[in-house]
Structure 1
Amino acid sequence: MNISGSKATVIRRGDYQAPSYQVSEIALDVRLDPDNTEVHTRLQLHRIAPEPVAELHLDGESLELLGLQRDGQALAESAYRLTEGGLLLLNPPEAFILESRVRIHPRANTALSGLYHAGGQFLTQCEAEGFRRITYYLDRPDCLARFTVTLHAPQDSCPVLLANGNCMATGVEEGGWHWARWEDPYPKPAYLFAMVAGDLAVVRDRYRTASGREVALEIYVAERDTGACAQAMDSLKHAMRWDEEVYGREYDLNRYMIVATDSFNMGAMENKGLNIFNAKYVLASPETATDSDYQGIESVIAHEYFHNWTGNRVTLRDWFQLSLKEGLTVFRDQEFSADQNSRGVQRIGDVRRLRAAQFPEDAGPLAHPVRPDAYSEINNFYTATVYEKGAELVRMMHTLLGNVPFRKGMDLYFERHDGHAVTIEDFIAAMEDANQRDLSGFRRWYGQAGTPVVRATGSYDPARHSYTLTLHQETPATPGQPVKEAVPIPVRMALLNTQGQRVPLEVVGGASETVLLLEQSEQSWNFANLPGPVIPSLLRGFSAPVRLQDSLDDDAHGFLARHDDDPFNRWESMQDLAVKALLAAVADSSVAPLPITLRNAVAATLADRQVDPAFCAELLTLPGEDYIGEQMPVVAVEAIHRARDGMMRAIGRHFAKEWTGLYHDLAAAYQRDGLSIGRRRLRNLALAYLIAGEGNSREGAILHARQQYIQADNMTDRLAAFQLLAQHRHHDAEDVILDFYQRWHEYPLVIDKWFAIQAAAPYPKTLRQVEHLLVHPAFDWRVPNRVRAVLGAFAANPTVFHAADGSGYTFFAEQIRRLDDINPQTAARLATPLSRWQRYDAPRQQAMVTALKILAGKPGLSRDLAEVIQRSHPE
């Protein structure tokens, strides 16, 4: 595809070279002004290459050079050269001090990378390559230096001045200005640098570490939000204690700071000692945040804290190792959340997210290994593959080794590499050496894209009282990797008897569960001396990121959906029954929308009052339209929507009495404990099924929803009712939509939900509604949360985004084109749904490719978006 503008340089992992120079100390003196900030930088550089070099390149973007000195003397013009990507020092000496003065323009920096000014605050985002937009530097993760930062700003507009580390001194200057000096005692790469200045209130607490040290905990927010920080603070303290108990990792500074902002491209950033967060992962009160919001805060707060050791103290040699910190830390935050809540429900949520984002990524033109071989724009590799699949690779090693051996490997990893920039091989080697275990096969997982398909067949021999299981693995071809090698796949399994009990397995000393390691293309196992026929429970806990195709019939899946004691597999069997029924309805609309096996499984679940309500809600929630489409060779957009809508109606109608009983029985005053969270979720699911039903139950449910919306004492219940009313085809909810906005217009995070729910309504009129939302006074193209709320929800709305006439694609491309001039990172990430054009019918393919061509022809196309387009349609 012909793409406007110059082609970005391709960075290849095989070309890595260690830096010729290192920076031991960096001192920044920053005079903050929204339009013209001046940065004075002092670098202590020394050569580590064995021989003198002719040139030393320092990265720099959008910098206005005001002055340059070496060892206190102005640098002659013949000694350096400015380039498109930075500053080239010619014939540098072995060791020297380089001082530079540059001017930058934070208010104009709508890309929100480097130093920017938004919402009245100065903020930074330096991962991955934002520091080069602040000053000239060796902006690469294997350059670790000690930072000293002095900030100057007007005291009235910026009473708070923050940077990494410890505040060493403050003072007052003429003209109403003041200053603060911060020192970080730990060497770090530039991507972990942070500074914040603005008018912020602070919520304080303290934490005593396992060794008895006192750590000051501070959360900086707008004054009005100080009452919404309790969940974040509690989550932080729980994460600190958990990391001490599970991994022996204690926090290492005297202060831990969090800053919340609406103007942030990512969820949060783990800058050493000064985490900058998207406000949605900090602020919560029962009136403004849902249960899912609370759980998201717990997870993300923990994730960024855990980075202090897995990412900060031990960091990356190069950006190709990104999953070394992100995949490992996602695994750690998932385990933390599992320990804080229901482990089974947590695992189901983890897998649902993996399948919704990463499996489609692995099956499309943007597929890449967990450790890619090349990139043009590193921002495009902050993907579900690096994060979510990366976490699954760590989990597989944990599954094979066990808790105690895995902890031994982590201890050795920290002991060897604290304070260093390392590689994925270093992590695997620590696990191997600590446990005398060969894990070399996992290197193939890191280097190979695609989701393996595991086919399982089994047979019981009544004469020999034995069961034989055969597993076969195959990974489909992906762009640039037509041939795949077998990878090690741990398959946790058990055999269940006809009463649903696990059978002791002689081959593993009588244990009733084991882990089989599938390392070859095909392997078989025999289990002898069984008391009778058995049903296999395979891939328990989703022990590997694969697609499992078993040979079980509907009766066997129905049995597992009622009896399997592994929460994930019980849920998976229910999903399998639903998907099979939905695919049959897609293929033939005359097929009954609720086959008997699925109906019986739903009935058994509704009758089982011993099941945790949150888990019950998981069992009874139908697969989403996107997931159903992923099971088809060509996504049948309208047919999938009709089939799922029909199944919702059938379940709502057939079990109307049960849903009504649940809705009334589960009503309770708001509490924040796990049982109450599950009860709310199940109650709101019951309301959804009743509204999906027909006749009197639907009309009664609409009245219940309106009453719940008005009377709710928490945002979870109010938003659930609002969503059902606002997205209902047969009900005019304009009064509710207006009322919601009037109630919450002063709360940006709540209004993001208001925008998103309207953009997700699955009806043709939604396109016109989204057009109106984009010109609403509360919409702001410069605020990523607001843009994602509208365009992200629209792109995730199958029936509207994938409208047969192509109107959704054309509209979407126009908006991405506009956004690219404002915030290229967000534009590139939002554009990825267009990359899946090959999954649809010919007219939709043509319309999506046309939309990609429109974007490709945009003058001044960003590197971020250009790479996504090129990889989406390389022809």
Structure 2
Amino acid sequence: MTATSSSPTIHLRRDYQASPFLVDRIDLTFDIRDQSTRVHSRLLIKRNHHAIAQNDLVLHGAASLNLIQLDGEVWPTERYQINSTEETLTLFDVPESFILEIETEVFPEKNTSLMGLYASNGNLFTQCEPEGFRKITYYLDRPDVMAKFSTTLIADKTRYPVLLSNGNKVGQGISDKKRHWVKWVDPYRKPSYLFAVVAGKLAVVRDEYITRSGRKVALEIYVETHDVDKTQHALRSLKRAMKWDEDRFGLEYDLDTYMIVAVGDFNMGAMENKGLNIFNTKFVLARQDTATDFDFEGVESVIGHEYFHNWTGNRVTCRDWFQLSLKEGLTVFRDQEFTADLYSRAVKRIEDVRQLRTAQFPEDAGPTAHPIRPDSYIEMNNFYTMTVYEKGAEVVRMYQTLFGREGFRKGLELYFRRHDGQAVTCDDFRQAMADANQYDLTQFERWYDQAGTPEVAVEMFYSPSAHSVTLHIRQHCPATPGQTDKAPFLIPLTVALFDPNGKAYPLQMSEETEAQGDERVLILREREHSFTFINIDHLPIPSLLRDFSAPVKLHYHYSAEELAFLFAHDTDAFNRWEAGQILFRQTILQQLEHPSSNAALPAVIIEGVQRILHSDSLDPAFKALALTLPSEVELFEAVPGEVDPVALVQAREAVRAALARSLRHEWQAMYQRCQRPAFHHEDSGWRSLKNLCLAYLNAVDDPIAVELAQVQYQKADNMTDQAGALSALRDRQGAIRDHLYEDFAQRWQKEALVMDKWFALHAASLRPDTLNRTEALLQHPCFSLKNPNKARAVLGSFGRNLLHFHAADGSGYRFLAQKVLEIDQFNPQVASRLVSLFNRWTRLEPQRRQLMKQELTTIVQQAGLSRDVFEIVSKSLEAAH
């Protein structure tokens, strides 16, 4: 169904009403045939006496309707109405309670949206979150209607030997000579968005897990046969996640079987359907020679995320889609903690904040800015955003900052005691945290209601005579669409003060009898605060917002020497990294303001980088992060006023080249030091640092550096080093570079996920011919525009390529806009993600701003535009008014 720009339906959070009807049980039968699938549903329905009374039953649905029976009698056509525009089926004047039977027919092979029941490579899969179940049958397709499901699948046993659904398998048999059936029963109530079906020819890898109470759980991962040898990491990750959730939060798995199915055509990363998780292959398949260290980390994180949803999302789910962050923000926080507990907490924290600043901060500052609990939407798919997920996780993290690990666990335990088996709200979670810790969190609700990134400005005043330091702190949140005036937030701000020797002062306020430690969490509630610390005998250097204790932008006027001091001595790893990033950012912005073909670097940067490189105590993974320049997106947001993206890229590249030239011998020495005789997963930090050094060496025209990359590529026994060599040569001209890229494509043309890396490298290149090469990639035999991974690899990478997407003649804008419209015809969800790359058009300098606006106007005026794309583009254009 599509919507025109003149008549979108806007859903408002304030309009929520409980469902007038509830479903106690639904029994589904899928009769799978070659061209179509018939779905028979049997629903036990009763009135909800806690809701506003309604005589008519309104179901959601977009499937072909064959039959309606109520209590065994065919329901007459004059007593129901189908509204295809609103995707509803209304049954007039139904009884108090009844059995409703509905038969629909769906056509998986024709379903290109990848929502509902669809076909991929001859197999059938479902994706029902948020509103895909209505593409299968007519139902109360809303998260607060929770029912017990049973599912029977009937299909050709040769073509579909594997038949899976939610819960536990309770029966199977032969229908006739060619067909078989399997029945699944889920003992737990769930909303329709957690329903799943898989049918096809798939290989299975099995293992088991014994819970801490002694229950045996069968673990099964289903993949295509040629991918079986890429599943062991996923299995290990699943078992680690199950044990971690038991150890950290006391949560056990609750079914007999936990199944994961990998599919190559999938709009999202993965889906937490109860007992039957369906995953994008990208987050299941990993083998040393086909997956990078980053891929391995991604698999473990997403495996953990979907498993953790079993409690935070499935056992307790969201009442309505406005509460999406209730499950997603909380579960992202849990998967972040999982990784941090298993590996380096400091490195994980930095990685998470980098992602927040690169993707969520621009969203908060753009035309589609929204709170983590939105007030309205046109298309629900558009709220699977970085704000709901990543900022939502930061909001959850602040509870832990306020109450500590034990206080947070107490709050989570109370939440489960109160709400297990229910569909609830963000307020219910906040209240459980408040009650468990006897803390007033009324003001904390503003994190759920107000959009935008708060800005915190700090001034420090030192009194030599009183030996005291006062921190004067102001908070402000800029206006966002629909919200001009923001009330002050409750912000936990973690601070420390360092003496000139790098030792943290014990922090004591005047009203205290003794120091309370050398690090304090200051609670900001008003627009302005002052905090005074005593017994400070020298002017200190403040370390502010330690461990990024709140998702805010911090403003403090550090000198270059103070930043260099923190870069060298701060005991908080995040703030040590942050000090270096500020130094890098200031240098790049100075280069932008005063371009020079031979950029000069301040001595504090050279010395700081050398100190990091030569340190024997620092984790190599931390070193790699500390020596990586801020991303172009972060720099874009940091530029005051209008932005020329091409000039910004050139400024960053100039500083990168200056670092390469100034420290050439150090990069070479560290590159050699990072070499390891054999591949071990625990050496991922060394590989990260090694490939960073290789990239710096290739940032200038140096034949020796090219040769180093060539040798690394040829000798690599893992994808991290092979892809790292290609990445180092990405922007180069020359026969060696071209030969290696061609060799890579020939070698990996049958590995779809590996080819996605190759596609992305081409589309992200700074070479002059990148647009032409990107257009050519669309004709490559390994590329398909209908595959979301491929579309994101090429078009998403090109859209983040500031140099070529923002070409002065508008060619980059025209190219991507045309592809957005093309994809919108068959997969609006992917199209809306890509069109979001246009959202910051009002920040551009006038010529580019006008060119991008023209493309947005062309898109929004397109006949038959989906609701998904219409909502993003219309909000983007409204931002100019």
TM-score range (shorter-chain normalised) is over 0.9
Q: Is the contact made by 1:228 and 1:283 (CA closer than 8 Å) also made in structure 2?
A: yes
Q: Which amino acid aligns with 2:12?
A: R
Which residue does 2:663 correspond to in 1? 655
In the other structure, the counterpart of 1:588 is 594
- The one-letter code of the counterpart of 2:57 is L
SS in structure 2 at match of 1:763 = coil
Q: Match of 1:105?
A: 107
Greater shift, 607-616 or 314-323, is seen at: 607-616
Q: 2:314 aligned with 1:312, yes or no?
A: yes
Q: Any residues of structure 2 matched to 1:454-853 within 5 Å, and which?
A: 454-507=456-509, 509-510=514-515, 511-590=517-596, 592-632=599-639, 633-674=641-682, 676-694=683-701, 698-729=702-733, 733-853=737-857
**SS at the partner of 1:556?**
helix
Post-superposition Cα deviations, 1:382-440, rounded to whole Å, max 9, x if no partner, equal 00000000001111111011111111110000000000000011001101111110111
Q: Partners in 2 of 1:300 and 1:562 — Cα distance? A: 34
Q: Distance in 2 between matches of 1:572 and 1:34?
A: 57
1:854 pairs with 2:858: yes
Query: Equivalent residue for 1:55?
Result: 56
Evaluate the alpha carbon distance shift between residue 670 and residue 297 of structure 1 in structure 2; reply closer, same or farther with a 3 A threshold.
Answer: farther
CA deviation map 1:269-301 (0-9, x unaligned): 000000000001000010000000000011100
CA contact (8 A) 2:472 2:529 kept: yes
Deviation digits for residues 330-389 of structure 1, max 9, x if unmatched? Answer: 011001110111100000000000001110000010101111101010000000000000
Asked if the contact 1:669/1:713 (under 8 Å) is kept, the reply is no
Specify the SS of the correspondent of 2:109: helix
Kindly provide the amino acid, as one letter, of the partner of residue 839 in structure 2.
S
1:106-153: CA deviation from partner (whole Å, max 9, x where unpaired): 111000000001111100000000000000000000000000000011
Post-superposition CA distance 1:56-83 (Å, at most 9, x none) = 100001x111111000111112221111
Q: Distance in 2 between matches of 1:681 and 1:181?
A: 48
| Cα distance in 2 for residues equivalent to 1:34 and 1:468 | 74
Contact 2:646 2:806 in 1 (8 A): no
**What letter matches 2:260 in structure 1?**
I
Q: Distance in 2 between matches of 1:283 and 1:57?
A: 42
For residues 645 and 462 of structure 2, the distance between their equivalents in structure 1, rounded to whole angstroms, comes to 41
Cα shift at 1:647:
1.2
Q: Whole-Å Cα distance in 2 between the matches of residues 352 and 651 of structure 1?
A: 21
CA RMSD of aligned residues (A): 1.4
What residue in structure 1 maps to residue 335 of structure 2?
Answer: 333
Rounded to whole Å, the distance in 2 between the matches of 1:669 and 1:73 is 74
- In 1, distance between residues paired with 2:539 and 2:672? 42
Deviation at 1:479, TM superposition (A): 0.4
TM-score w.r.t. length of structure 2: 0.97
Residue 5 of structure 1: how far off its partner (Å)? 5.5
Pick closer, same or farther for the CA change 1:52–1:327 going to 2, 3 Å: closer
CA contact (8 A) 2:577 2:625 kept: yes
Name the CA distance, whole Å, in 2 between partners of 1:873 and 1:732: 45
1:614 Cα offset (Å): 0.5
Using the alignment, how far apart are the partners of 2:459 and 2:607 within structure 1?
25
Checking the alignment, whether the CA contact within 8 Å between 1:207 and 1:216 is kept in structure 2 is yes
Q: CA deviation at 1:672?
A: 3.4
Greater displacement, 8-17 / 44-53: 44-53
**CA separation in 2, counterparts of 1:455 and 1:411?**
36
One-letter amino acid of the structure 1 residue matched with residue 271 of structure 2:
M
Please give the alpha-carbon distance, in whole angstroms, between the structure 2 residues aligned to 1:46 and 1:569. 57
Q: Which amino acid aligns with 2:256?
A: N
Instruction: Give distance in 2, aligned partners of 1:729 and 1:372.
Output: 47
Distance 1:408 1:563 in 2: 35
Structure 2 residue aligned with 1:71:
71
1:409 and 1:435 in contact (8 A); partners too: yes
Q: Give the AA of the match of 1:131.
A: F
Name the residue aligned to 1:223: 225
CA deviation after TM superposition for structure 1 residue 730, in Å: 5.7
**2:402 pairs with 400, 403, 406, which one?**
400
Cα distance between partner residues in 1 of 2:33 and 2:282:
27
CA distance in 1, matches of 2:553, 2:441: 22
Range that drifts further, 282-291 or 505-514:
505-514
Q: Is the 1:66–1:100 contact (alpha carbons within 8 Å) kept by the matching residues of 2? A: yes
Task: Output the CA distance in 2 between the equivalents of 1:593 and 1:621.
Answer: 18
Partner Cα separation in structure 1 for residue 766 and residue 865 of structure 2:
32
Q: Distance in 2 between matches of 1:189 and 1:242?
A: 27
**Structure 1 position 637, deviation (Å):** 1.4
Structure 2: how far apart are the matches of 1:155 and 1:669?
A: 49
Give the match's secondary structure for 1:289.
coil
Matched residue SS, 1:419:
coil
CA distance 1:232–1:615, change in 2 (3 Å): same
- Report if the CA contact (8 A) 1:34-1:107 is conserved: no
Gaps of 5+ in 2: none
Q: Distance in 2 between matches of 1:151 and 1:577?
A: 61
2:464/2:537 contact within 8 Å kept: no
**Separation (CA, whole Å) in 2 of partners of 1:554 and 1:35:** 68
Give the AA of the match of 2:870.
A
The size of the alignment, in residue pairs, is 869
Counting only pairs closer than 5 Å after superposition, residues 325-364 of structure 1 correspond to structure 2 as: 325-364=327-366
Q: Are the aligned partners of 2:599 and 2:658 in contact in 1 as well (CA < 8 Å)? A: no
CA contact (8 A) 1:582 1:593 kept: no
**AA partner of residue 549 (structure 2):** S
Distance 2:53 2:384 in 1: 36
Amino acid at match of 1:604: R
**Paired residues of 1:142 and 1:316 also in contact (CA < 8 A):** yes
Tell me what 1:22 maps to. Answer: 22
> In structure 1, what residue type is equivalent to 2:535?
N
Q: In the alignment, residue 607 of structure 1 is paired with which amino acid?
A: H
C-alpha contact (below 8 Å) 2:583/2:605 kept by paired residues: yes
- Alpha-carbon distance, 1:731 to partner: 6.0
Q: Secondary structure at the match of 2:873?
A: helix
- 1:130-529 to 2 correspondence within 5 Å? 130-507=132-509, 509-510=514-515, 511-529=517-535
Distance (whole Å) between structure 1 residues aligned to residue 535 and residue 754 of structure 2: 60
- Once the two structures are overlaid, the 10-residue window that deviates more, 106-115 or 856-865, is 856-865
- Structure 2 letter corresponding to 1:428: R
Q: Structure 1: how far apart are the matches of 2:645 and 2:872?
A: 24
> What letter corresponds to residue 518 of structure 1 in structure 2?
L
Q: TM-score, normalised by structure 1?
A: 0.98
State the 1:518 CA deviation: 1.0
What is the rounded CA distance, in whole Å, between the counterparts of 2:53 and 2:712 in structure 1? 74
2:11 maps to amino acid: I
Whole-Å separation in 2 of the counterparts to 1:601 and 1:730: 34
Q: Secondary structure at the match of 1:398?
A: helix
Q: Deviations over 1:143-169 (max 9, x none)?
A: 000000000111111110000000111
| Deviation at residue 726 of structure 1 after TM alignment | 3.4
**Counterparts of residues 2-21 of structure 1 (less than 5 Å):** 4=4, 7-21=7-21
User: How far does residue 180 in structure 1 lie from its aligned partner after superposition?
Assistant: 0.4
Alignment gaps of 5+ in structure 1 = none
Q: Secondary structure at the match of 2:542?
A: strand
